[in-house]
Each structure stands twice: as C-alpha cells, then as structure tokens.
C-alpha cells in the first residue's frame, strides 16, 4: 500500500520558503517540529494550522503564569536537536483549502516565528501582540510573501501535493501519514 508522508512534504515546502523568502530566512527548520493533528469536525471554518512557541518572551526557558513559574515541555527531533517551535497542520481541514490559501496559511504560521529565532513569537506592538493592530494587515503580508515565493519558481514537484484535497491525496496514495506531537504542556517549577 502506498503512503503519503504529509509532514515530510510540508517540512520540505517550509524549508524552501525559508531559503527563498528573505523575511523568513531567520528560521532554522531543523529546530521546528512539523506535525499534524486531526480536525475534530470536517468544516472549513476553524483552525487550519498553528505555531506553538516552546519558549517564553525573549526566549526565556522559564516564565510566569498567574504568579507561578513554569517551563515549556521540550520537544526533541529524531536527530536529537531540541526544537524551539511546533508547527501543526489540522487535517483534513488544511488540505481542503484552495491551493493559494494553503500557501498563505503556511507563510502565516512561519511569519509568527520571532525574528531572533529564540523560541518566542514575533511580537507586535499593542494589545494583540501575535497579529498586531490588524490581523487583516498581517494576513495581507503573509499573502504577499506566499505569492512572492511562487513567483520565485520553486519546483512544482515540491508543492504539487498542495494542489490536491485530502480526499484526492487518499485516493492517490491510500494513506496520508505524518508525525504527531502532543500539545506541549507547561511544567511547574518548584522553588
């Protein structure tokens, strides 16, 4: 039976994007765990992908939440390298998006990676530090970067799987598989 390794294919797209798009060149994909989760409902609204930072503000390994000190649970890749971020795609929902929306979603999540690549998110001024004053502007920037990547003419074989829906991938390969990571937990630190 043929199998399609979704997370390996998604990682390859991310690696190429971080090499070709200057705004993403600070990202070392060796230190980003790429996984998938099953979407609970097969609807188009809802979360498509997520980026989880594995450090606190300014890359600190220890942070305070409601007055208590915590560490983030560690994720180590198969090569033994500790990851600083976890990028999850929610299937089948993500794969059922139109092709361009898939690319924008990938870039959107990668754009959240902090410019210092220290395990923290890119922080914007204002109350909504994750997307800035306007999520619409954040999304427009991600869309521009995604279109810019396509204009650089990456090999079609790299992203061809993104032109297919989940059902089409299953019809072609039989099984869609990939790496799964549990949601990282905050581990309390005892003084």
Instruction: Assess contact for 119 and 55: CB atoms under 8 A.
Output: yes
Rounded percentage of the chain residues whose pLDDT exceeds 70 = 90
As a whole number of angstroms, the distance between CA 97 and CA 19 comes to 24
Over residues 153-177, the mean pLDDT reads 95
Strands 186-188 and 68-72, bridge-based pairing = antiparallel
Over residues 65-84, the mean pLDDT reads 90
pLDDT band (50, 70, 90) for residue 160:
very high
String of b and e for 11-23 (b: at least 16 CB within 10 Å)? Answer: bbbbbbbbebbeb
The pTM score is 0.91
Greater pLDDT, 141 or 128: 141
As a whole number of angstroms, the distance between CA 33 and CA 88 comes to 8
Greater pLDDT, 65 or 126: 65
Greater pLDDT, 28 or 183: 28
The tens digit of pLDDT for each residue in 16-64 reads: 999 999 999 999 999 999 999 987 666 556 689 999 999 998 888 898 8
């Amino acid at each position: 039976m043929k199998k399609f390794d979704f997370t390996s294919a998604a990682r390859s797209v991310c690696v190429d994007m971080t090499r070709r798009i200057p705004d993403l060149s600070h990202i070392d994909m060796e230190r980003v765990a790429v996984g998938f989760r099953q979407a609970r409902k097969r609807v188009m609204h809802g979360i498509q992908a997520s980026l989880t930072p594995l450090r606190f503000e300014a890359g600190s390994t220890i942070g305070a939440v409601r007055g208590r000190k915590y560490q983030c649970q560690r994720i180590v890749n198969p090569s033994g390298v500790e990851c600083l971020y976890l990028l999850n795609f929610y299937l089948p929902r993500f794969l059922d998006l139109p092709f361009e929306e898939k690319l924008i979603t990938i870039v959107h999540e990668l754009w959240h990676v902090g410019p210092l690549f220290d395990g923290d998110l890119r922080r914007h001024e204002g109350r909504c530090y994750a997307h800035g004053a306007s999520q619409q502007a954040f999304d427009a920037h991600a869309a521009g970067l995604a279109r810019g990547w396509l204009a650089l003419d990456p090999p079609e074989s790299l992203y061809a799987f993104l032109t297919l829906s989940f059902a089409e991938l299953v019809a072609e390969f039989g099984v869609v598989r990939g790496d799964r990571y549990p949601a990282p937990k905050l581990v309390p630190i005892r003084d």
